[in-house]
Every structure is written in structure tokens, then in C-alpha cells.
Amino acid sequence: MARLEVTGIQGLVDDMRRMGQQSGEVARAMTLAAADETAKAWRATADAKGFRKTGAMIESVGFPEGAQIIGDTYYADIYPQGKDERGTRNAEKAYILHYGSSRIKPTYWVDEADKKAEENIAPRIEGIWADFLETGRVPPMPDIQLKGKGKSGLKKQRG
């Protein structure tokens, strides 16, 4: 699937690291907020494109592992979870709708959704950073629904 890259966040993370104050927790909060905005954009774009037969694929879009870390880099894997009533993985359906197949034209809907998400990501992570600078504490996390395992929102990986 497509990989979302947010320009400028690394500079913010570098600033936080230099400050030496809770940079990991703030970066985690920012990553979760960006993932939440991206998942919302995926659902809205899939719905707007008419990819709703039962709604299961659209409603299953999420980031079940929460914010993961490899070395000093935080990320979240965003994709449709689970299977439909016939046993077809929702992620497989999303992949085919995005890239197409021999009988289905590609729509590149994930690229479109990621582009839409960018508009909302910057203000959201800037708000988290501003709250941190103002209070010196990591702001409380918004009500983000994590699906599946890893519900703590942080999974450490070897890097």
C-alpha cells in the first residue's frame, strides 16, 4: 500500500529531542493523531468512491498496532482489518481497489486519501506540540479507537 510521509515532522522531533523533555511521548501522541486523521480520510474517500457494499471494509480501516517505534522513528501501519463474510481480507479488497486487477481499473484511492489527510495532520500535530510547549506535559490523547492488538498505542520493534 501507499506510505504516508509528513514533511516537517522530523524537524519537530529533532527539536523535542534537543529539549530533552518527553520527546518520545509527544512524538507518539503526534504519530497517533496523524494516523487517526489518515484513517478518517481513508474511510471518507472509500465511501465517496462508492466502495461501500456492506461497509465492513470502510469501517475496519484502522491502525491496530498503534504507534510503533523502530530506533528513533515512530510510525503507524494503517489498513483495513479483518475479513468479510466470505473470508476475503478487507486489506486485499482495498489493495485491489487501489491498484486494480485484470478486470478492475485502478483508482489510487489511498493516494487521494493520504493527500486529503495531509490538510488535517499538520494543524493537529502542531496543536499537540503547542500544548506541550505551553504546559510542559504531553497533552491527553484524543479518543482514538485502536482495533486489534497493541491497544496501548505503542509497540517497540527492533531497529
The amino acid that residue 103 corresponds to is R
Distance CA 117, CA 19 (A): 29
pLDDT per position in the chain (159 positions), as tens?
Answer: 656 666 667 777 776 666 665 677 888 889 999 999 999 999 999 999 999 888 889 999 999 888 888 887 889 999 999 998 889 999 999 999 999 999 999 999 999 999 999 999 999 999 988 888 888 777 666 555 555 444 444 444 434
| pLDDT given for residue 25 in this prediction | 82
Find, among 37, 61, 30, the residue nearest to 125 by Cα: 30
The reported pTM is 0.75
